[in-house]
Amino acid sequence: MIDPLLHIVLLAPQIPNNTGNIGRTAVAAGCVLHLIHPLGFELSEKARRRAGLDYWEHLHWREHASWDDFLERERPGRLWLYTTKSTTPHWDAEFHRGDYLLFGQETGGVPDRIHEEVARRWGRESRVTLPMQAEARSLNLATSVCVAVYEGMRQLQ
């Protein structure tokens, strides 16, 4: 297994093309991708091939049956929750190698119970946002992940 720069954690992603683009980012940046079920798509080899994920063989990734399964198997020491519900800009985060970056579902974000658990385990300051103009409700998930990963990379390189 690699010594990842960061871990990208997707909670119940729904759009296969977003996940494919995020997988490409993970390969490019030396990150591990974690997919937490339920997923809105199949992960079969045929489905991956259809989505054009020809680099998938280079991707270090792990599947988790649930949020609780993820916590039990990974035991993340440091985790950052990216959310539109925070006022703390992500550039205030001080990343360390091996940190976990958590992103919610494209349509629903992260459930309140997980927000509360993240705040309890890692502190409210671990909930960060990508600042944007009021007219924008949110950014595309793949875009958000890429921005976050490359900020982490900037800090750690």
Task: Give pLDDT tens digits for 135-152.
Answer: 988 899 999 999 999 999
Whole-prediction pTM: 0.94
How many angstroms separate the CA atoms of 117 and 91, rounded?
Answer: 22
Arithmetic mean of pLDDT over the chain? 92
Domain presence at residue 97: yes
pLDDT more than 90, % of the chain: 76
Q: How many domains is the chain partitioned into structurally? A: 1
**Is residue 150 in a domain?**
yes
At 48 the pLDDT is: 67
127 — pLDDT class (breaks 50, 70, 90): very high
Which residues are CB-neighbours of 6 under 8 A, at least 6 positions away?
A: 29, 31, 95, 97, 98, 99, 100, 101, 149, 152, 153, 156
Tell me which residue range forms the domain holding 19. 6-156
What is the average pLDDT across 41-70?
A: 82
- Domain annotation covers residue 66: yes
Question: The domain spanning residue 99 has which CATH number?
Answer: 3.40.1280.10
What token pair was written down for 31?
A: 């990150």
Decide if 26 is inside a domain.
Answer: yes
pLDDT score of 50: 64
The reply to whether 1 falls in a domain is no
Distance of CA 122 to the CA centre of its chain: 16
Euclidean distance between CA atoms 50 and 43, whole angstroms: 11
DSSP string for residues in 73-89:
HH--SSEEEE-TT--SB
Per-state percent for the chain, helix, strand, coil, to nearest 5: 40, 20, 40
